[in-house]
């Protein structure tokens, strides 16, 4: 039996207990209610960007998990270029959260970042145990991704100021549901302390992250 490939053919240099996911933030917002959602997304974009900078300083890998708005005729780089270079509604959001060369990305066909994607394989090779979920929308793609992550035994951190939905009520309901049913930690992003080792699951060690 062949040995397990240790690094996905050299494509996964990082090893980390925790990964930061940015869900559907590369988004042209060219759909019904896109402009109203953009206003809400821009309010959390700065918080996500700050969290991302802190994560990268702590060598935490960043993964963009995104719908393919090019109808499967484009790749992630082309999607980013479309949102930045074309006159689209979502350009201000993507300008705040545009990916960097060392970030990872996964394109998804459905709501969950795990459904029919390579996310499982990537996280496995990164040795991730804890996922920090951010992005849009809290009551849809973030929720579906969180549910599938919980079923795979990931510990979930979903900072309440880094997730948005079409309405504040829907967002609060989604966060409460993920906290209650998926055991997610929904503390604000400024309460996350990356240097704590292992991001372990025990109640005592979770409290040390505060």
**Does residue 67 lie in a domain region?**
yes
Mean pLDDT of 93-111: 93
Number of domains in the chain: 1
Asked if 55 and 132 touch (Cβ cutoff 8 Å), the reply is yes
Q: How far apart are CA 195 and CA 175, in angstroms?
A: 25
End-to-end alpha-carbon separation of the chain, Å?
Answer: 45
Establish if 192 belongs to a structural domain.
Answer: yes
Flag whether pLDDT at 203 surpasses 50. no
Q: What is the 3-state secondary structure (H, E, C) of 144-157?
A: HHHHHHHHCCCEEE
In a domain, 6, yes or no: no
CB 96 within 8 A of CB 49: yes
Local structure of residue 202 (DSSP, 8 states): S
Whole-structure pTM value: 0.88
C-alpha to C-alpha distance for 77 and 99, rounded to whole angstroms? 9
- Would 149 be classed as within a structural domain? yes
Predicted confidence band at 35 (pLDDT cuts at 50, 70, 90)?
confident
Per residue in 159-183, pLDDT tens?
Answer: 999 999 999 999 999 999 999 999 9
Residue 96 scores a pLDDT above 60:
yes
Instruction: Using only the alpha carbons of the chain, give its radius of gyration.
Output: 16
- The parent domain of residue 102 ranges over 18-208
Helix (H) or strand (E) holding 66, with range, is strand 62-67
Examine residue 48 and state whether it is found in any structural domain, yes or no.
yes
CATH assignment of the domain containing 125: 3.40.50.850
Is residue 179 domain-resident?
yes
Q: Provide the token pair at 92.
A: 């201000």
Q: What band does 202 get if pLDDT is binned at 50, 70 and 90?
A: very low
Q: Tell me, yes or no, whether 9 lies in a domain.
A: no
User: Per the domain annotation, does 61 fall within a domain?
Assistant: yes
Long-range contacts: 71-74, Cβ < 8 Å, 24+? 72/109
């Amino acid at each position: 039996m062949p040995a397990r490939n240790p690094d996905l053919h050299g494509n996964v240099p990082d090893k980390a207990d925790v990964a930061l996911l940015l869900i559907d933030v590369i988004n042209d917002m060219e759909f019904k209610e896109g402009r109203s959602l953009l206003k809400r997304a821009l309010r959390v974009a700065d918080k996500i960007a700050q969290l991302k900078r802190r994560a990268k300083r702590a060598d935490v890998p960043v993964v963009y998990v995104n719908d393919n708005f090019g109808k499967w005729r484009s790749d992630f780089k082309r999607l980013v270029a479309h949102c930045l270079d074309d006159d689209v509604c979502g350009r201000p959001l993507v300008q705040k959260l545009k990916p960097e060369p060392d970030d990872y990305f996964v394109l998804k066909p459905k709501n969950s970042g795990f459904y029919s994607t390579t996310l499982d394989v990537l996280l496995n090779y990164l040795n991730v145990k804890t996922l920090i979920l951010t992005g849009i929308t809290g009551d849809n793609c973030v929720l579906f991704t969180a549910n599938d992550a919980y079923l795979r035994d990931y510990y979930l951190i979903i900072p309440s100021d880094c997730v948005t939905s079409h309405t504040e009520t829907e967002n609060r309901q989604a966060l409460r549901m993920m906290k209650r049913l998926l055991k997610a930690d929904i503390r604000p992003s400024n309460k996350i302390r990356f240097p704590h080792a292992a991001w372990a699951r025990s109640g005592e060690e979770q409290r040390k992250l505060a």
